[in-house]
């Protein structure tokens, strides 16, 4: 019980990519880059195991960004044709590649890192993919010209890769859908349908990560506009609770989401963010354990999985390591107390 996991990403070593930033350029190329990704993946697994993380990931060491990493092996996308566009309802700008024709997978996307991770840990292994709505929000489209249609096409490709990841021995496939929290109405009209299509036919555990975004400045500024209580989740939790996705991952540490809203996720496993990824203070095990106890009033303990609020990719590496250790130690403390 109270097995802990992380949202997905960890910072990369500075010899692999420029530190402390998103979309960090690689510092290696060719065979050296492939070897560097492999080494960084092994380090990420080892650090999680040593910190007492029960359900581990590859730390997303092989991808530059959580969305565009998936797109690099897809036909129908022109990476040379990048357009600056406002994403997440124009909260920030990103340089996005363009869909120029019908989408299809040119081959496996994440086989190398998934098999490598599987070969080097006996713990349960989670693998993260971007969700179809979030990809559709992070790409320019000059072909489908309709967001739900584009999302469904992406969902089919995600499903192909997800089934292959399951065959590689992955235990949990998580789709990252930060866009769910931006397009609340569309979640019900086509977002969940696209997500379920991406997860169709999977026998392994499935998860969706939703959140108010990384701790980057555009998100911090946006959060200031949301008022004292964040009730966006009140709209999407009931829709998620009715979906075929098994687990929901979201932030709780320093979040303004009223904690009792978690009871709207009845029937789902909840990956509860007990580690803030947007500040430099390292949580104490005591703080982690007490938040877990508070959440346990609304989420049954067998369904509660302590987790990080979001990915730790943009954090300094030493800070992320300290937060990992706090997550492991705090979860262990909570297990002792709540057993
Ligand atoms: Zn997140």
Cα separation, 130 vs 64, whole angstroms: 13
Residue 154's pLDDT is 98
- Ligand 1 mean position to 318 CA, how many Å? 20
Ligand 1 centroid, distance to 205 Cα (angstroms) = 19
Calpha distance 65→22 (Å, rounded): 7
Residue 193 tokens, joined: 């349908």
pLDDT score at 13: 96
Least confident of 140-144, 193-197, 229-233, 248-252: 229-233
If we measure between CA atoms, which residue out of 122, 129, 128, 120 comes closest to residue 41? 120
| Range picked from 166-170, 231-235, 278-282 for highest mean pLDDT | 166-170
In sequence order, the β-bridge partners of residue 125 are 56
Mean pLDDT of the chain: 94
* Cα 7 to middle of ligand 1, angstroms: 7
CA of 279 to the centre of ligand 1 (A): 14
The pocket of ion ligand 1, defined by CB under 5 A, consists of 211, 310
Residue 39 alpha carbon to ligand 1 centre in Å? 25
**In the structure encoding, which two tokens stand for residue 35, read together?**
């070897």
How many structural domains does the chain have? 1
The closest alpha carbon to 276, from 307, 230, 232, belongs to 307
Compute the distance from residue 178 Cα to the ligand 1 centre, in Å: 6
Look at 87-91, 207-211, 226-230, 328-332 and tell me which has the smallest mean pLDDT.
226-230
Whether residue 130 is predicted with pLDDT greater than 70 in this model: the reply is yes
Q: In which residue are the tokens 């969706």 written?
A: 208
Could you list the beta-strand ranges (E) of 142-294.
Answer: 172-176, 205-209, 247-251, 269-275
Nearest partner of 99 among 144, 64, 49, judged by Cα: 144
Looking at the domain assignment, is residue 133 inside a domain? yes
249 C-alpha to ligand 1 centroid (Å): 8
How far away, in angstroms, is 291 Cα from ligand 1 center?
A: 19
Residue 2, domain member (yes or no): no
Confidence (pLDDT) at 94: 85
Between the CA of 170 and the centroid of ligand 1 the distance, in Å, is: 21
Ligand 1 centroid vs 142 CA: distance in angstroms? 28
Strand partners, 271: 249, 305
Q: How far is the CA of 30 from the centre of ligand 1 (A)?
A: 30
Task: Please give the distance, rounded to the nearest whole angstrom, from the Cα atom of residue 312 to the centre of ligand 1.
Answer: 9
- 191 — pLDDT class (breaks 50, 70, 90): very high
Ligand 1 centroid, distance to 31 Cα (angstroms): 31
Q: What spacing in Å lies between the alpha carbon of 273 and ligand 1's midpoint?
A: 10
Please indicate, yes or no, if residue 24 is contained in any of the structural domains.
Answer: no
Is the confidence at residue 215, as pLDDT, over 70? no
Average pLDDT over residues 127-156: 96
Q: Read off the pLDDT band of 206 (50, 70, 90).
A: very high
| Over residues 240-255, mean pLDDT | 95
Residue 9 in any domain: the answer is no
pLDDT, tens digit, for every residue of 71-114? 988 999 998 888 898 888 778 788 889 999 999 999 999 999 99
Is residue 19 included in any domain, yes or no? no
CA of 177 relative to ligand 1 center, distance in Å: 8
- With respect to residue 280, please indicate whether it lies within any of the assigned structural domains: yes
Is 18 a member of any domain? no
Q: Does residue 241 form part of some domain? A: yes
Average pLDDT value for residue range 162-184 = 96
Closest of 132, 269, 106, 103 to residue 200, by C-alpha: 132
Grade residue 218 by pLDDT with cuts at 50, 70 and 90. confident
How many whole angstroms from 210 Cα to the centroid of ligand 1? 6
272: β partners: 250, 306
Calculate how far, in angstroms, residue 308's C-alpha sits from the geometric centre of ligand 1: 9
User: What percent of the chain has pLDDT above 90?
Assistant: 80
What domain range is 234 assigned to? Answer: 30-338
- Read off the pLDDT band of 277 (50, 70, 90): very high
Q: What is the SS3 assignment for 271?
A: strand
Please, what is the Cα angle at 9 between 6 and 12, to 5 degrees? 130
Higher pLDDT, 69 or 221: 69
Give the confidence band of 159 by pLDDT, cuts at 50, 70, 90.
Answer: very high
Measure 310 CA to ligand 1 centroid, in angstroms. Answer: 4
Question: Is pLDDT at 22 greater than 80 in this prediction?
Answer: no
Structure tokens at 186: 């569309």
Between 252 and 222, residue with greater pLDDT: 252
- Amino acid 87: pLDDT: 84
Please list the residues that pair with 127 across neighbouring strands.
Answer: 173
CATH label of the domain that carries residue 94: 3.20.20.210
């Amino acid at each position: 019980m109270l097995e802990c996991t992380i949202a997905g990403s960890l910072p990369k070593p500075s010899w692999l990519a420029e530190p402390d930033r998103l979309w960090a350029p690689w510092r290696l190329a060719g065979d050296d880059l492939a070897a560097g990704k492999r080494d960084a993946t092994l380090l990420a697994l080892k650090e999680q195991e040593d910190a007492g993380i029960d359900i581990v990931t590859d730390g997303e060491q092989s991808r530059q960004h959580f969305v565009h990493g998936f797109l690099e092996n897809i036909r129908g996308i022109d990476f040379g044709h990048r357009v600056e566009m406002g994403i997440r309802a124009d909260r920030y700008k990103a340089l996005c590649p363009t869909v120029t024709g019908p989408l299809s997978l040119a081959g496996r996307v994440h086989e190398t890192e998934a098999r490598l991770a599987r070969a080097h840990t006996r713990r349960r292994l989670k693998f993260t993919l971007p969700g179809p709505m979030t990809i559709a929000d992070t790409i320019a489209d000059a072909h489908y010209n309709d967001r739900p249609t584009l999302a469904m096409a992406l969902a089919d490709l995600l499903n192909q890769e997800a089934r292959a990841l399951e065959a590689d021995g992955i235990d949990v496939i998580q789709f990252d859908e930060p866009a769910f929290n931006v397009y609340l109405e569309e979640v019900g009209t086509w977002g969940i349908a696209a997500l379920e299509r991406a997860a169709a036919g999977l026998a392994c555990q499935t998860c969706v990560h939703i959140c108010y975004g990384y701790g980057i400045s555009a998100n911090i500024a946006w959060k200031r506009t949301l008022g004292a209580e964040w009730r966006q989740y009140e709209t999407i939790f009931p829709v998620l609770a009715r979906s075929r996705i098994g687990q929901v991952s979201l932030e709780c540490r320093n979040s303004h989401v009223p904690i009792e809203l978690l009871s709207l996720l009845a029937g789902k496993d909840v990956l509860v963010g007990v580690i803030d990824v947007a500040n430099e203070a390292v949580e104490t095990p005591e703080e982690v354990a007490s938040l877990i106890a508070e959440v346990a009033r609304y989420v049954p303990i067998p369904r509660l999985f302590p987790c990080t609020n979001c990915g730790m990719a943009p954090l300094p590496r030493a800070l992320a390591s300290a937060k990992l250790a706090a997550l492991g130690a705090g979860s262990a403390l909570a297990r002792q107390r709540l057993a």
